[in-house]
Structure 1
Amino acid sequence: MPPTRFFFEEPAPGFPERKDFCLMLPIVHRSRRFLHAACSSVALLAALCAPALADTSPVALMPRPQSVTLSGQDVAVAGGVRIEWAGRPTPMLQRAAARFSGRLAMLAGAPAAGGAPLVLHISTRPDPAYLSVHEREHYTLNVTSQNGIRLDADGPAGVVHGLATLLQLVVQTPQGPVIHEAAINDAPRFPWRGVMIDVSRHFMSVDTMKRQLDAMELTKLNVLHWHLSDGTGFRVESLRFPRLHQVGGHNQYYTQAQVRDIVAYAADRGIRIVPEFDVPGHTLSILEAYPELAAQHVPSAEERESPCSITINTVKTKAICNKVYNLNNAAFDPTKPQTLKFATELYAEMGRLFPDHYFHSGGDEVSPKQWNDNPAIVAYMKQHGYADAPALQAAFTAQVEHALARQGKIMMGWDEVSEAPIPRDVVVETWRGSKWIASATQAGHPVVVSSGYYLDLLNPSSEHYKVDPYDPKAVGLSPEEATRARAKQGPMIDAFALDPNAQPLTAAQQKLVLGGEAPLWSEIVSDEMVDARLWPRSAAIAERFWSDASVRDVADMEKRLPLIQHELEATGLQASAHENAMIARLTPGNVGPLKVLTSVTSPVRNYAMNRLASHSGDAMLNAPGAIAAPDSFEANRFNDMAARYVAGEKDLAAPLTQMLKLYLANDAGYATVATTPLLQDARPVSQQLAAVARVGLEAIRKHRSHGRHWHRRVNRLLAAQDATFAGCANAVASYTHDQPPSGLLIDILPGLHALVDHAH
């Protein structure tokens, strides 16, 4: 039987406290196999079987519906669910129903023989706007013991969303699987709710892409922005320009048949796919195949891999014979007529593979030197009255937009395209800061917000959750940070600065905000890491895009997040399986110590990991920092219990002590498995975890007898850990402070601070 959600017989307010934490292993540690591999000592087993979070709602709905009423009663579902349609369902709806039935069996178990099934009545109507920003997504869902289940949807998208919500109402109880009685009225806040997956830096398999689409369906995300070309690789077979995949694809690309399969797979799940083929910058992989389109000489692969070069495959730069070459810098020469002809024909071919109306042409990070250092381009700019490189780019962008419009496409571009006059129809994707939301909508452009949702920054869900797509001041460098960065980066840093004078969006501007996307750039994300790097944070961001703006309780979100992650894994996501496989490769003889260490740590943030990768390259894809998740469920549990302990729940002293003893003892075990340089890099963090765990134990055991000397000592110890967090608190700090070689942060610090402050 697949993993299920476990609840206890003795109810408590909101959520029954679990009497045996071992039942939480599929949720908190995300793998039952870990119990057998890691629970090799009594102390470890005792710590893992500590009480779990209390006061968590047993109905872990995410995203939160617009309106939900729970009766407190349950409807047995041991006999399964039989679907009855009002009218003839389309093949797409029949496939959606089949997926629901399969997932229900994964969560509730196979229907009991002879059991009476619960009837699910579904009614909907055709929606000509399905798979567009104008589709009808509203649905109502009613579950009662008297009338069974009724799902009424305004269109196919509403059926898909209603079935996803219904699965979240399913729980396992000691009496068997049940569905909570509920009355739900639901519709999204924004029509564009997406993730962006970069497959250029590291290629992702077809199966990996499909797993993400399944998880997107279950969390009501409806746009996959697929970044398919960049400096590192061109990832789609081209029949018109075959050298693109033969040379620029580096033997890793999707055939056109595979693309059509993935597009159809997504459409079945109510998900649109918007492709991105970047121009005029980020084009090295294209120019390797067609160098006659380049603004500057493009070093061959042999030149870049010459003996005097330092090869770093996971980051943006390579040093070639003492000369740094940026893989992102290579740009088209937009003054050559064949360049626009090439882009037009390429987009026409790719557009036929992707039926969506929107087509992303990139437009970001075009280096002015690519054009200003070319005498022919400079002469062209002077002859045609272009004052600078951005003006030339704006003219080229307008030409590309006209070409896409003739092909029936609506152009998207990163927010750089909005810095010069471009057609109003161009959709601007804001990424450098929230101020571009205001400026782009003020200029009349539709906007998709990415700033604040960059998953490759490795911030926890709580940070993304606080960012509202309507807030023009949510994300950006402070004046002090911008001043510090400007000394090294020059005036380009101003694009990332906050606008202190930004005004709230007007009603007209808000109408232009289509929604948002959570990008995952893959410089340091392998195919094996995608599931854990996208989820569960994308689920929290999905709630920000779907639910009402008033749904902002971070603590409540963090309590629901493990249950949502569990559902995603029970129905196919492989985050835990892949993490466990990575641990088993690194420490095959004893997985416990590394498992414990990575369960309470998270990777350094805000591109600090990219900085570490610039020295170790692809090795970082197999390091402890690649295993630790940005959201540590175990640390969140510890921190919550510590806060409740100091607030008066003294019975939590015992489980807190068990956990701290585990962390203290773990370093001895880690010392025996740290036999490689990557594992040895993490040994200092293991030792620091033991040291702060000892402090926590002292705070609990003798909190009435500590003097000033003790407080000074332990506060210095905790302050050193706080400084590590501060050293990657933003992009400026991460590039100006030393980072721990392991790339790990100890996430139980809030709980330790609470315990120490309480020990007076």
Structure 2
Amino acid sequence: MKIKLLLASLIYAGLSTPSLAAQSSPALMPYPASLQQQQGRFVIPQALNWSVTGLSDTRVALLKTQLQQGLATQLVDGDKNLALHIQVENPTTSTYPKLGEDESYRLSIDAQGIKIEAPTALGALRAAQTLRQLAFAQNGELPYVSIQDSPRFPWRGLMVDSARHFMPLDAIYRQLDGMASAKLNVFHWHLTDDQGWRLASKAYPKLQELASDGLFYTQQEIQQVVEYARQLGIRVVPEFDVPGHATAIATAYPELISQPGPYQLERHWGVFEPLLDPSNPEVYKFIDTLVGEIASLFPDPYLHIGGDEINPKQWQQSEAIAAYMAKHQLADHHQLHTHFNAKVQKILARHGKKMMGWDEIFHPDLPKDIMIQSWQGLDSLAQTAMAGYQGLLSTGFYIDQPQQTAYHYRNEPIPANDFIAPTIGADTQWQQWQFEMPRLKGSAVTGEFVLYTQADGSHQGYIRVNKQQTRMLKDIQRKGPLTRFWLDTWMGPMQFDVSLQKAEQIDGRILIGNTPYAVKGKQLASGNGGENAPKVAKPAQFDEKFAHNILGGEATIWSEIVTGDNLDLRIWPRLYAVAERFWSPQALTDKDDMYRRLAIMQDYGTQVGLAYQTQQQAGFQALVSEGTDISPLYTLAELVEQAQYYTRHHLKYQADAYHHGERLDRFVDFLPAESLALVAFNQGITQVKPTQSPTLLQLDSQLANWQQQLPAIQKLVGAHQELQPLSKLVDDLEQSLLLSRQIVANCRQAVMTADQAQPLRKQLWQLAEAKQEIVIGLAHSAERLLDRCSH
């Protein structure tokens, strides 16, 4: 509630940019395709006559429960004086949701009441969610509206990883309720991996006996989840990983693996060696039997086989596999993998299943009805689609990474042909640079960028990262010696803050989300005009006639550092914004209005049963002695954020803590992915004009409020052992608040020069370094303010 109130206070103070129309529009997510609002409001009575035609009794009962709660009324069955009527125009006997089934609806509210019309049951279910959102925080009144709505994409999913950390059933049911409220329609359930097998098998019981630590779902529990999801209009797609991510299989049945065992469950996170043996006929019998069991539990036509991250070492060391490859004329492990997938695909087909997998399963020899889920990005997805295969985007929707919600919201499943070639005139100055960004784990990120400066001072820029296709740089700015630009990447927003004054070296940093990384590099060439100017390779164009092959996307929540105790907090409420990208028109891109609505969804999600607020409260309370006031921790959580991208994972790897035994109950584990309080504060900063005090006074008032609460934070941290590792972070937060107020004071007096701003910027950069896997988000906000107040 505190976050919502802060955001509202800043908006009403005139510190954010949504238009009046946007502010007055209903706070719906996903936003409908068409909404017309009329004058007037329908007052909801204490008892509301309603009728439903074309829905099963079970779904009618479900809707009655949801709508009575959402509308705060008693629904009374009747056929006279109806105030709520739900009509399904084409009832069918098939109740399991189908890919591509019509989910459109019409919803109208006027003086006579509420009317929902939909061609199918799914459309009626989606309309009911819109009605619930419309009623939220409306004090018993509904605006008169006319809505016509349908989804942009037919596949709108959430993948939950129950393998690395087991997710209790109550957590799974909550996610289904949340998905329904966001009009998501596919629950992708990741059930097997190196760290555990979570699906009970009658044919191969050692899978759950030896490879689950006793944490698995019975077949009856699986069936109950599938049935509950079906009632909500959600398909359930299981993932059963082959041939890699197979340590759990190796633990139970080592005879199926390419190298002899024994094996034990993997306790660390990463990519490991065990691979099923494609030369062993028993492997295909194993897969066939398991697919039969899985098919009996999951009625969906798709079965996800994983198929990613194959480490070929075991295959390359096996004499039996070498002989098998020679017999089948397979030149390398890539061909062996394709050969294996082709055999698995035929097994699935015999059981009435279509193969689904990650990018690595793609091969033109496989039938066109397979589904490719892309974690490698738009280039890979475009290749899949233009080859005639159906695909989904997950890159950019990896919500196990803490990221800015705006980053997910900008992510677009259909590749855009928006490349603009550089303009090179006689007076154009250009520079070509090579850079390298070492990561905390894995190989460094490398690339080249080219900057063009025109005679009028305008800038263009282009970049290739890790030999991917050329991308255009955004918002190229010069701030004294600092050159700044950014682009979205698979890691998150990638912002360069660099000094290019020395040809022999780049000075500065790269921000991945909110986390600074070192950068090094050198100038390759520079010059004027077109002679010797570097050639910017135009990226391959996506043929839009294949756009129909991109069916949507899935958000993914991998569980290396996620448990059932913070699952909701790591997913919501930002999944509402991802759901909007999948459902709503492509043209809906106003991030400020998205954040306005998201602040309201922050509270709405609790009404539908999501537990992120109670999870945060319980997590914070466990860090202090019983009865201690934890409100200072909420204030601290407004000013700091988890280090974004996979920085937390990589820091744990460096500390030899990247494993199942690592504690996940510290303060950082109960921070949301993004501070909406800082989002609101940053919206205010965009309105700052130096020496003009009203906006600056509002910002200073908020900073002073935070500053006044700092002693309570310091006292709490000092008094509790679990919080004491945050002491240095809190000291730096104190300095961040002092610097922020100093910048406000300076800004009220005059525009600062670059030389005056530079020492302040240097201090803010130091304060923004990750500590305890946390970044002081306020330090970034203060630098935004510094940029507004200097030239």
TM-score (norm 1): 0.82
Match of 2:127 among 162, 167, 191: 162
Q: Please say if residues 636 and 748 of structure 1, whose CA atoms lie closer than 8 Å, have aligned partners that are also in contact.
A: no
> What is the one-letter code of the residue matched to 2:775?
L
Distance (Å, rounded) in 1 between the aligned partners of 2:737 and 2:87: 56
Pair 1:102–1:469, CA change in 2 (3 A) = same
Give, in angstroms, the shift of residue 180 of structure 1: 1.2
The question of 1:499 aligning with 2:469 is answered yes
Q: Which amino acid in structure 1 is aligned with residue 285 of structure 2?
A: K
d(CA) in 2 for partners of 1:710 and 1:416?
52
Distance 2:707 2:782 in 1: 13
2:760 to 714, 718, 723: 714
Q: Deviations over 1:554-584 (max 9, x none)?
A: 1111111121121111221110100111011
Is residue 2:429 matched to residue 1:449? no
Q: Distance in 2 between matches of 1:290 and 1:474?
A: 51
Q: Report the equivalent of 1:594.
A: 633
| CA separation of 1:491 and 1:642: change in aligned 2, threshold 3 A | closer
Change (3 A) 1:505 1:133: farther
Corresponding residue for residue 200 of structure 2: 237
| Residue 95 (structure 1) aligned to one of 33, 55, 61 | 61
- SS, match of residue 400 in structure 2: helix
Question: Deviation digits for residues 463-519 of structure 1, max 9, x if unmatched?
Answer: 1111111117899xx996799789965999999753345434334311111110001
Which region of structure 1 is more displaced relative to structure 2, 698-707 or 283-292? Answer: 698-707
- Match in the other structure for 1:15: none
Contact 2:382–2:542 at 8 Å: present in 1 too? yes
CA distance in 2, matches of 1:260, 1:648: 65
- Give 1:20's aligned residue: none
Evaluate the alpha carbon distance shift between residue 339 and residue 489 of structure 1 in structure 2; reply closer, same or farther with a 3 A threshold: farther
Assess if the C-alpha contact under 8 Å between 1:612 and 1:741 holds in 2: no
The alpha carbon displacement at 1:65 in A equals: 0.8
Q: 1:381 to 1:410 in 2, by over 3 A?
A: same
2:118 matched residue in structure 1: 153
Corresponding letter in the other structure for 1:623: R
Amino acid in the other structure paired with 2:565? E
Aligned to 1:399: 343
Of 596-605 and 211-220, the range deviating more from structure 2: 596-605
Partner of 1:736: none
Question: Cα distance, 1:416 vs. partner?
Answer: 0.3
Give the corresponding residue for 2:686: 643
- For the residues of structure 2 that align with 1:178 and 1:547, how far apart are their CA atoms? 25
Q: Which moved more, 1:405-414 or 1:416-425?
A: 416-425
| Residue 433 (structure 1) shift | 1.8
Counterpart pick for 1:610 among 649, 657, 671:
649
Aligned pair count reads 675
- State whether residues 234 and 244 of structure 1, in contact with CA within 8 Å, keep that contact through their aligned partners in structure 2: yes
C-alpha change, 1:448 and 1:237, in structure 2 (3 Å) is same
Q: CA deviation at 1:525?
A: 0.3
SS in structure 1 at match of 2:677: helix
Matched, 1:261 2:224: yes
The residue type paired with residue 148 of structure 1 is G
Partners of 1:483 and 1:389 lie apart in 2 by 31
Residue identity matched to 1:498: Q
Query: Shift of residue 117 of structure 1?
Result: 9.2
Other-structure match for 2:277: 333
Structure 1 position 431, deviation (Å): 0.6
Tell me the equivalent position of 1:194: 157
Alignment equivalent of 1:316, drawn from 269, 272, 279 = 269
Change (3 A) 1:375 1:581: same
1:689 maps to a residue whose letter is L
Structure 1 residues 130 and 619: CA distance shift in structure 2, 3 A? closer
Q: Counterpart in 2 of 1:730? A: none
1:3-402 equivalent positions in 2, closer than 5 A: 24-25=1-2, 27=4, 56-57=23-24, 59-85=26-52, 87=53, 89-105=55-71, 108=72, 119-124=83-88, 125-127=90-92, 128=94, 131-145=97-111, 147-172=112-137, 176-298=139-261, 300-301=263-264, 313=267, 315-316=268-269, 326=271, 328-402=272-346
Retained in 2: the 8 A contact 1:62–1:219? Answer: yes
Q: Tell me: CA distance 1:495–1:156, structure 2 relative to 1, closer, same or farther (3 Å).
A: farther
The Cα shift of 1:585 comes to: 0.7
Change (3 A) 1:455 1:298: farther
- Pairwise CA distance, 1:295: 1.2
Residue of structure 1 in register with 2:712 after alignment: 669
Does the Cα contact within 8 Å between 2:199 and 2:217 map onto a contact in 1?
yes
Unpaired runs of 5+ residues, structure 1, are 1-23, 31-45, 305-312, 318-325, 725-739
Shift of 1:662: 3.9
Corresponding position: 1:467 with 2:411? yes
Residue number among 776, 779, 789 corresponding to 1:746 in the alignment: 776
Q: Does 2:543 correspond to 1:573?
A: no
Structural RMSD (CA): 3.4
Distance 1:275 1:587 in 2: 40
Q: Tell me the TM-score normalised to structure 2 length.
A: 0.79
Does the C-alpha gap of structure 1 residues 599 and 152 become closer, same or farther in structure 2, counting only changes over 3 Å?
same
1:69 Cα deviation after fit:
0.5
Of residues 660, 668, 674, the one that matches 2:703 is: 660
Percent identity, aligned pairs only, is 29
* Equivalent AA in structure 1 for residue 777 of structure 2: D
Q: Once the 2 structures are TM-superposed, how far is the Cα of residue 380 of structure 1 from its aligned partner?
A: 2.1
Determine helix, strand or coil for the equivalent of 1:527: coil
Structure 2 residue runs without a partner (length 5+): 420-431, 448-463, 471-537
CA offsets, 1:253-279, max 9 Å, x none? 111111111001100000000000000
Q: Is the 8 A contact 1:447 1:512 kept in 2?
A: yes
The one-letter code sitting in structure 2 at the alignment partner of 1:755 is L
Cα distance between partner residues in 2 of 1:458 and 1:143:
38
Q: 1:379 deviation in Å? A: 2.7
Cα distance in 2 for partners of 1:645, 1:621 equals: 40
TM-fit CA distance, 1:671 = 3.4
Could you tell me which residue of structure 1 aligns to residue 669 of structure 2? 626
Residue type at the aligned position of 2:67:
S
Alpha-carbon distance in structure 2 between the residues aligned to 1:495 and 1:697: 38
Question: Aligned letter for 1:395?
Answer: H
CA deviation after TM superposition for structure 1 residue 359, in Å: 0.6
- The CA deviation string for residues 607-635 of structure 1, in whole angstroms up to 9 with x for no partner, is 11111233235545112221221221111
Asked whether the 8 Å contact 2:386–2:543 carries over to 1, the reply is no
- The answer as to whether partners of 1:96 and 1:160 remain within 8 angstroms in 2 is no
Letter matched to residue 2 of structure 2: L
Matched AA of 1:164: Q
CA distance in 2, matches of 1:117, 1:689: 60
Give the whole-Å Cα distance in 1 for the aligned partners of 2:304 and 2:446. Answer: 23
Residues 131, 88 of structure 1: CA spacing in aligned structure 2 closer, same or farther, 3 A cutoff? Answer: closer
Normalized per residue, the structure richer in helix is 1
The DSSP-based 3-state class of the residue aligned with 2:651 is: helix
Q: Write the distance in 1 (CA, Å) between the matches of 2:34 and 2:341.
A: 43
Q: CA deviation at 1:376?
A: 2.2
> Residue 359 of structure 1 contacts residue 411 of structure 1 at CA under 8 Å; is this kept in 2?
yes
Deviation, structure 1 residue 121? 1.3
Aligned partners of 2:629, 2:163: CA distance in 1, in Å? 35
| Equivalent residue letter for 2:292 | A
Structure 1 CA distance for aligned equivalents of residues 290 and 276 of structure 2? 14
Structure 2 letter corresponding to 1:100: Q
Per-residue displacement from partner, 1:346-376 (whole Å, max 9, x unpaired)?
1110111000011101100010112112222
Matched with 1:701 is 745
Tell me, what secondary structure is at the counterpart of 2:166? coil
The Cα of 1:639 is off from its aligned counterpart by: 1.4
Kindly report structure 1 stretches of 4+ aligned residues shifted beyond 6 Å: 49-54, 109-112, 472-475, 478-488, 490-496, 706-709
Equivalent position SS for 1:362: coil
